[in-house]
Amino acid sequence: MDRTELELLSPAGDTERLTMALHYGADAVYLAGTRYGMRASAGNFDDAQMLEAVKLAHERGVKVYVTCNTLPREDELEGLPRYLGYMQDIGVDAFIIADLGVLELAKKHAPHVKKHVSTQLGVINSATANALYALGADTVVLARETPMADIRKIRANTPEDLRIEAFVHGAMCVSFSGRCLLSNYLTGRDANRGQCAQPCRWKYHLMEETRPGEYFEITEDNGTFIMNSRDMCMIEHLPELIDAGVTSFKIEGRMKSAYYCAVVTNAYRQAIDAAITGKPLDKIWIEETEKVSHRPYTTGFYYGDPGQHYAATSYYSLTDVGAIVERCDENGNAVLSQRNKFYKTDELELLIPGEKPVKFTVERMYNSEGEEIEDTRHAMMEIHMKLPVYAPRYSVVRKYR
């Protein structure tokens, strides 16, 4: 299969995360402006930043999809035509849309921009996919609850030029396709308007009405995190998704770190390329998914009942970022920017775009004045050290916990 037929779609919550997605192998990125996006707390992009983001992505042959996936209220509709028109003018490749009214406005005011229907709309069968195609959708992002067997049927019963996109990695929601009122009810922050407070991730206690102030943990079955969904990880199952008809593989995480974006994009780039060539996936790329902050993994609903769907714990990770490579010569002499403290003699690991990670031990390192140092104690300090191999800018030096 030609690699160009498939697409790795990575999150870009801000410019730093966009940069990592571009350097670590994304074919497309999804991001948001300052309005109409479902991640109001992400850094996001104002109009000028969006123009620059599109320019940077297109220079590397990467497409840009802008999320317009809130459910806009009546007083928000007035500004939407101008917003959509501006996005067309600067060359965005697609909108991700969850509202039929927004879909119609996008057809009218940005006719040259492709329309992708968001997972928020809950596409789970071919009848819905065909109806949306008739309304002008170019891509449907399937609901996370769609089984693999149903994806095959959806592909068989929809037009060939309707692209099917599916999530392959990241957080899942306790509610159906993210349509939840719990955050709104408990905090006044509307999850359907990008303001979710994630109360499903909170640790809950019981209180008996005649004993105010006495709190009792909920400890049976799934533990105290009774609504805390596991994270999805489908890196070992991409050949099956390809065979079922998925052409765009989406990584969740616009609110997650630039390091998460780099590591997961890098791993899935290798997994997709292996699937295309028919080669077995090197287990090192599966191990990479354990090196970012995540909840326990699951394959979600792809294979029917997910069984233990909830995680009785919060995030954990095997590694932390020590530094980011700013520049490096062909002999490995590098200048880095510190992110977390590490020490001389520490065993570290170098992550390079498109390459397997390389372990090495810190022998010597220096500050910006050329003085030898024993540790990197100052936030964002400049570090000079020799790396085991050449590492391009935005490579990551990380340490194990």
pLDDT at 41: 60
Q: At 47, list the tokens.
A: 């109009």
pLDDT at 195: 84
Place of tokens 């789970």: 124
Cα–Cα distance for residue pair 132/82, rounded to 1 Å: 24
pLDDT at 5: 85
**Beta pairing partners, 26:** none
pLDDT at 93: 98
Cα–Cα distance for residue pair 197/360, rounded to 1 Å: 40
Cα–Cα distance for residue pair 398/259, rounded to 1 Å: 10
DSSP state of 74: G
The tens place of each residue's pLDDT in the chain, 401 residues long, gives 456 689 999 999 999 999 999 999 999 999 999 887 666 666 789 999 999 999 999 999 999 999 998 888 898 899 999 999 999 999 999 999 999 999 999 999 999 999 999 998 999 999 999 999 999 999 999 999 899 999 999 999 999 999 999 999 999 887 766 667 778 768 888 777 778 888 888 888 878 788 888 877 766 555 566 678 899 999 999 999 999 999 999 999 998 999 999 999 999 999 999 999 999 999 999 999 999 999 999 999 999 877 666 676 778 899 999 999 999 999 999 999 999 999 999 999 999 999 999 999 999 999 999 999 999 999 999 999 999 999 999 999 999 98
**Beta pairing partners, 350:** 358, 397
Residue type, 75: D
